[in-house]
Structure 1
Amino acid sequence: MKSLPIQQCNLVLPGSNYEQTYRNKSMTMTRLKISKTLLAVMLTSAVATGSAYAENNAQTTNESAGQKVDSSMNKVGNFMDDSAITAKVKAALVDHDNIKSTDISVKTDQKVVTLSGFVESQAQAEEAVKVAKGVEGVTSVSDKLHVRDAKEGSVKGYAGDTATTSEIKAKLLADDIVPSRKVKVETTDGVVQLSGTVDSQAQSDRAESIAKAVDGVKSVKNDLKTK
């Protein structure tokens, strides 16, 4: 008789050390699979969150940039509108036969026109205001016009104008804010005209304030330009 081959069998006996080792290996592999799955989910979530944040941040940046551009465009548009209104008002005053427009200063800020300087009578002042209000785009008119005193003598007036001009120039020269060499001062019948170019609106306002504070000055026509 032939002997049958004996096959080796690995039997795991209940309660043996082999059974415990087998179970430990199975649990370890299961935990590894779960850990890998959780890691994959966390990575996917992190990528999605980062993408959403980047998209929102980019959108916020674009909106902020757009708002800044719109604001700048509005400021430029308002400046152009005011300049155009000022030019139209000056032209309308020049065309009016009963108004001496050379003694009237015109300024426009946000479509509000300010008239300053001197006129020969109250009737002329009222007429100048009426003309300015009739210009397209003007929302209101601030009347700072003064009626000229006809009793002042021409010789006395000239001497006073010269003294006024000299005093204003001296005060501008002593001021730390205003570049006096860039400011031209002229005085006619007590009306001071400032012209030239300064570096800022603050310098322009300061020069006007200094001129107005001098004795004998009736009004100031601030024609200073800013860079």
Structure 2
Amino acid sequence: MAETGEAPPIRDASTVLLVRRDNDAGPSILMGQRGAGAVFMPNKYVFPGGAVDRGDADIPLAAPIGPVCTERLGLDAAPGLAGALAAGAIRELWEETGLILGQSGAWPGAVPYDWQDFAGSGFVPAAAPLTFVFRAITPPGRPRRFDARFFLADATHVAGDPDDFSRASDELSHLHWVPLTEARRLNLPFITEVVLGEVSALLDRNGPPDSVPFFDNSGPVPRFRRLQ
């Protein structure tokens, strides 16, 4: 944690928008509520996600994220960050919901501590179901700041029952599938509302979008960009 008066660092982060389309009510999205005591966005409903860990860059992926998304993730980023962001997205989804995006198989080599339960389930993480759809940097003045990349994935790629949250951590409460038409009635962060609007227009599209919106608050003047 930064000392008083010291600006917090901007950390890379990954967020997963898991979409389900198996009922007549239309698509729904998986969301949970952050605790009242959370430093960042208390009480808000959010998508599963969090900061990328240092070890995420070394995680083996059974299937990499697509080449267009990889290229866009690499813009203004350190070499190799695209794979770390994809692995971080899968790890955060697993930790916060207990759901697995992966392929059955054995890990090559030693399994990191925070991936042991995932590997123990008989799966290796697979990033192919992820589509990079949004990027936003937290504005200055917040207690924590993130350079967050948002990934869209269809729940048909989840290994197992998408309603089984028994292996989830306690970081998010009230995990449930929210109809997309009702999601904006929840207590949402502003950026989550923006992302929901963007994703609604992408659900019927196959493949990555033509460009990725980017709310860039890295400098003194906010900028809106599109990553081609």
Is TM (by shorter chain) over 0.5? Answer: no
Q: Shorter-chain TM-score category? A: under 0.3
Using CA pairs below 8 Å that are at least 6 residues apart, which structure has the higher relative contact order?
Answer: 2
Alignment TM-score, normalising by the size of structure 2: 0.21
Task: State the structure with more CA Rg.
Answer: 1
- Which one has a larger percent helix, Structure 1 or Structure 2? 1
Alignment TM-score, normalising by the size of structure 1: 0.22
